[in-house]
Structure 1
Amino acid sequence: MSQSNTALNIAEYWQPLCSRNDLVANSGVVALVEGQQVALFYLPDTEEEVFAIGNRDPKSGANVIGRGIVGQMGGDLVIASPLYKQHFRLSDGSCVEYPEQQLQVWPARLCGDRVEIRL
């Protein structure tokens, strides 16, 4: 495969969602991706900066994760669900208190002024 075809395939793999201006530092916003709500967290003081995690709280079934509070537990960046206060790791979506609960995560990045996730 030529380099130009490789570059095109990689570019198509990342889905643009919004602009950096749509994000709120140290907080969440929600985007709709292929019919699913994705909570985006912009943490400018971290190495990754942007995290994408499922917005649906598995315990309540409500789409509220994007309204949760960002923090740290045991050295991991977490989001606390606003309803039952369980904590989900932003890196892999696992729940600290309830291992059977899991949120989907997507790789996310800033590409210039665009926020993109890899599908």
Structure 2
Amino acid sequence: MSWRPICDLALLQPECGVPALVDGHPVAVFRTHDDELFAVGNVDPLCGAGVISRGIVGDRGGEPTVASPMLKQVFSLRTGECLDVPDARLPVFPVRRRGSSVEVALP
């Protein structure tokens, strides 16, 4: 596993996403209102558009989520599972703070 810097933590506003291309993988990194970090694939599996980073961050029954801005399906930020369409999912990547930087790991 290889860690790659994405952005400075100060640039990642709560409830907003940041898109990144990491070794050819489109990634969306999110910071929730309670300061947790999540990284998932940035391509919506239902329409193929790279828009997940622009989705609405929320919560469904205590599960941190992002709703696709295209078709509005909701995905778990922890597992990548689509909570509305059982066969759809986003890839999930390890993410961490390192000093003032946010980093994502790819296999």
TM-score normalised by structure 1 residue count: 0.83
Aligned to 2:77: 90
Structure 2 unaligned spans of 5+: none
Distance 2:12 2:65 in 1: 18
| SS of alignment partner, residue 39 of structure 1 | strand
Aligned to 1:34: 23
Query: Quick one: higher RCO (CA 8 Å, sep 6+), 1 or 2?
Result: 2
Note the C-alpha offset of 1:20. 1.1
TM-score normalised by structure 2 residue count: 0.91
Distance 2:8 2:70 in 1: 29
Aligned to 1:107: 94
Note the C-alpha offset of 1:44. 4.8
Deviations 1:24-72 (A, max 9, x none): 22111101101121101012514xx211010100111100100000111
- The structure that is helix-richer by fraction is 1
Please, which of 54, 57, 71 is the counterpart of residue 70 of structure 1? 57
Distance 2:48 2:2 in 1: 29
Identity %, equivalent residues: 47
Deviations 1:45-100 (A, max 9, x none): 14xx2110101001111001000001111221110001111000000100001110
Task: Kindly tell me the number of residue pairs found equivalent between the two proteins.
Answer: 106
